[in-house]
Every structure is written in C-alpha cells, then in structure tokens.
Structure 1
Amino acid sequence: MPIGAGSSLHYLVGPVIAFIVLALIALFLRWAFGTGYGRGAPTPPVEEGLLTLVATLSRRESALALRAVLSDAGIRSTVRCPAPHRADVFVFPEDAARARSLASTFPGP
C-alpha cells in the first residue's frame, strides 16, 4: 500500500510554523532592543542640567579643596569625576561668575 506524501508530512506543519513564529519574534526583539551598528557612544554634556562647569582639575582632591573654598564663599557646588585624572566642578549659573573668579585664584594643594 503506497503512502501518500500529503498525509505523512502533516505532523511537520505545526513545528515548522512554531519555529518560523519564534524566529520572527527573535528578529523583532533584536531589532527593538539591540545596540545597533550605527550608534556611537553619547558625548557627555558640558552642562549638567541646571549646573554650569567652572573648573576642570586633574585630581579629585584638588576639586574637593576648590569645592571647600567655594563653600566658604557661600557658593553651592558639586564635583564629578568622568574619567581618571579628571575632576569637574559645577555650580549653579547665578554663582558661575564668582566661582570662576575664585577658581582662577585657587592655587590647589
């Protein structure tokens, strides 16, 4: 008795459809959540929201000393260390002019 081709391969239809659907879902997720090939690293902004950069120093300790000088003058500030051997001092824009004048006379430790 001959075996018909249509009746013997019907058990493969379900798994093949499931595999195709899973492959399409995987491709969509890779497209939606992938890193992308043409995207570069974002460049850090010079200004941090409400804050303005007033000084860049080579050591974190020097930046903390400048921050103490600014604090003694009544200027609120913060320090960010984006890379080794680099520390940025930020202040609010209304205090930026006074902070820059103090930073220019700051000898550092």
Structure 2
Amino acid sequence: MPIDAGSLHYAVGPAIAFLVLVVLAVFLRWAFASSSPKPTKRPSAEDGLLTRVATLTRKESALALRAVLSDAGIRSTIRYPAPHRADVLVFPEDAGRARALAGTFQNG
C-alpha cells in the first residue's frame, strides 16, 4: 500500500509521545511540589543569623559592651559597617537580655 504524500500519519506517533511527556511532567511537578508555604520573612543577608542589639559610634564602646555581654554569658560579635559605626550582634535567643544590658550600659 503506497503512502499518500499529503497525509500526516507520520506525525501522529511523535505527537502522542510528546503529549504523554507533557502530561507526565505536569503530574510530577504537582506530585513533588512542596506543600509548605514559602517563608515570608527571611533573615537579612546583612546580619545572617544574628540580631543587632546596639549601634555605637566608637570601637572602644562596642568592645566594652561586648565585655559586659560576655560577663553575662551572652555570646556576641561586632561588625563595622561604616567608619565611626560599630554594631553589636547576638543570637536571637539572647537578644532580649542583651538589649536590656545594652540599655543600662554607659560608655564612659
């Protein structure tokens, strides 16, 4: 039986295969999608996992506050984002106590 040059029978097989792949891809995307919503608030890339509890203008003051926090058992670090600026950072679980100590801290 000769094949008619004007028919599209040769395209039916690949079209069905392509349709099956698309349906399979959509199903797999739905089946393996994350069911938990995306977090809306992420930690700042600037602070990472730490929380800023004080911003001071002198390096010596920041070091003194860090010593006070260390005496209270609070781990801290200092970041210098700009000249004449020092941020004291602590872990979020210690932020409340650290802010209370920073509020009573006098750099003098």
TM beyond 0.5: yes
2:55 is matched by which residue type in structure 1? T
Structure 2 counterpart of 1:94:
93
Task: Show CA shifts across 1:41-68 (max 9, x none).
Answer: xxxx585111000000000110000000
Structure 2 counterpart of 1:78:
77
Local SS of the residue matching 1:98? helix
- Would the aligned equivalents of 1:55 and 1:103 in 2 still touch at CA under 8 Å? yes
2:68 is matched by which residue type in structure 1? V
2:48 is matched by which residue type in structure 1? G
Q: Which has the higher helix share?
A: 1
Percent of aligned positions that are identical:
77
Structure 1 pair 52/88, CA: closer, same or farther in 2 (3 Å)? Answer: same
Unaligned runs of 5+ in 2: 1-43
TM-score by length of 2: 0.57
- For the aligned residue pairs, the C-alpha RMSD in angstroms reads 1.4
- Would the aligned equivalents of 1:75 and 1:99 in 2 still touch at CA under 8 Å? yes
Structure 2 counterpart of 1:104:
103
Unaligned runs of 5+ in 1: 1-44
2:87 is matched by which residue type in structure 1? D
Structure 1 counterpart of 2:54:
55
TM-score by length of 1: 0.57
What CA distance in whole angstroms lies between the structure 2 residues aligned with 1:46 and 1:69? 27
What does residue range 35-50 of structure 1 map to in structure 2 within 5 Å?
Answer: 45=44, 48-50=47-49
What CA distance in whole angstroms lies between the structure 2 residues aligned with 1:78 and 1:84? 17
Local SS of the residue matching 2:80? strand
Equivalent residues, number: 65
What CA distance in whole angstroms lies between the structure 2 residues aligned with 1:66 and 1:100? 11
